């Protein structure tokens, strides 16, 4: 049996992340690690080490069905892995991230007030005021936290729903970070097919 590595336990990370953000939204900033580290590894190493070994979210989607003995193991619809959907979703996700940054900017400049809510599926605003105490951080920092946590939670929920209906890591098929690192690896290797 393959010896367990420290990163085999990284599935704990997303659970910890969402738990911390539940009690204090400022911990949402830690999610930037999941944004920047895969890009850094892809640019510097030209590989998908993050996706293959380090991604807590990918590991969590694999661990849950194994632990609770459920998954339909059904292949996801082919359009989910089509180029137009993967890159379309990447553009959409990037636009949503830019919107988070824009809302942060508005609060920073005093043009908007802090919204202490988490927006699920880019639609439903859930009050989350208990997770922020006024004055503990600049309001713009809190606004970014609420927005970024919304993105992270929404994408995790989509991944969990897909995990229940299809193969455990179906989210990885069109995950924006996976698509971005794949593009970077392709550019680095010019024509070689990186593993996904
Ligand atoms: S594709 Fe996304 S969720 Fe899957 S392992 Fe890579 S970064 Fe993690």
Q: Is residue 194 part of a domain?
A: no
Mean pLDDT estimate for the chain: 94
Whether 72 has a pLDDT exceeding 90, the answer reads no
Mean local confidence (pLDDT), 65-90:
91
- Residue 32 is predicted with a pLDDT of 97
Our count of domains for the chain comes to: 1
Minimum mean pLDDT range among 1-10, 38-47, 116-125, 146-155: 1-10
* Mutation to probe ligand 1, out of 48, 171, 185 (largest number of atoms < 8 A from CB): 171
Q: Is residue 1 part of a domain?
A: no
Q: Is residue 106 part of a domain?
A: yes
Q: How many CB atoms lie within 10 A of CB 82?
A: 13
The values of phi and psi at residue 112, to 5°, are -145, 160
- Residue 70 is predicted with a pLDDT of 77
The Cα–Cα gap between 64 and 15 comes to: 12
Q: Which domain holds residue 113?
A: 6-189
Q: Is residue 126 part of a domain?
A: yes
Q: Is the pTM of this model over 0.75?
A: yes
- Residue 192 is predicted with a pLDDT of 61
Q: Is residue 195 part of a domain?
A: no
Ligand 1 mean position, distance from CA 167 (Å)? 14
Please write the tens of the pLDDT for every residue from 17-71: 999 999 999 999 999 999 999 999 999 999 999 999 999 999 999 999 999 887 7
The CA-atom distances, in angstroms, between 69 and each of 10, 120, 166, 168 are 20, 28, 14, 11
Q: Is residue 114 part of a domain?
A: yes
Nearest CA to ligand 1 atom 6: 51
Ligand 1 mean position, distance from CA 123 (Å)? 24
The Cα–Cα gap between 42 and 44 comes to: 6
Whether 94 has a pLDDT exceeding 60, the answer reads yes
Label residue 64 exposed, middle or buried (CB < 10 Å: 0-12, 13-18, 19+): middle
Q: Is residue 116 part of a domain?
A: yes
Q: Is residue 27 part of a domain?
A: yes
Please write the tens of the pLDDT for every residue from 170-180: 999 999 999 99
Ligand 1 mean position, distance from CA 10 (Å)? 13
- Residue 193 is predicted with a pLDDT of 55
Enumerate helices (H) and strands (E) in the chain, giving the number of each.
8, 2
Q: Helices marked H in the chain — which ranges? A: 12-23, 32-45, 49, 56-68, 83-108, 139-165, 171-174, 176-189
């Amino acid at each position: 049996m393959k010896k367990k590595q420290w990163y085999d336990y990284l599935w704990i990370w997303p659970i910890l992340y969402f738990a911390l953000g539940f009690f204090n939204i400022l911990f949402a900033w830690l999610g930037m690690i999941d944004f920047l580290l895969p890009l850094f590894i892809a640019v510097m190493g030209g590989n998908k080490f993050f996706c293959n070994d380090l991604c807590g979210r990918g590991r969590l989607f694999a661990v849950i069905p194994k632990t609770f003995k459920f998954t339909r193991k059904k292949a996801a619809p082919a359009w989910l892995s089509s180029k137009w959907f993967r890159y379309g979703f990447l553009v959409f996700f990037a636009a949503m991230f830019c919107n988070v940054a824009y809302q942060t900017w508005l609060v920073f400049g005093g043009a908007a007030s802090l919204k202490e809510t988490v927006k699920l599926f880019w639609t439903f605003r859930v009050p989350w005021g208990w997770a922020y105490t006024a004055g503990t951080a600049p309001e713009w920092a809190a606004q970014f936290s609420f927005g970024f946590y919304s993105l992270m939670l929404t994408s995790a929920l989509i991944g969990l729903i897909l995990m229940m209906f299809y193969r455990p890591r179906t989210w990885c098929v069109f995950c924006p970070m996976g698509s971005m690192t794949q593009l970077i690896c392709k550019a680095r290797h010019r024509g070689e097919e990186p593993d996904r």
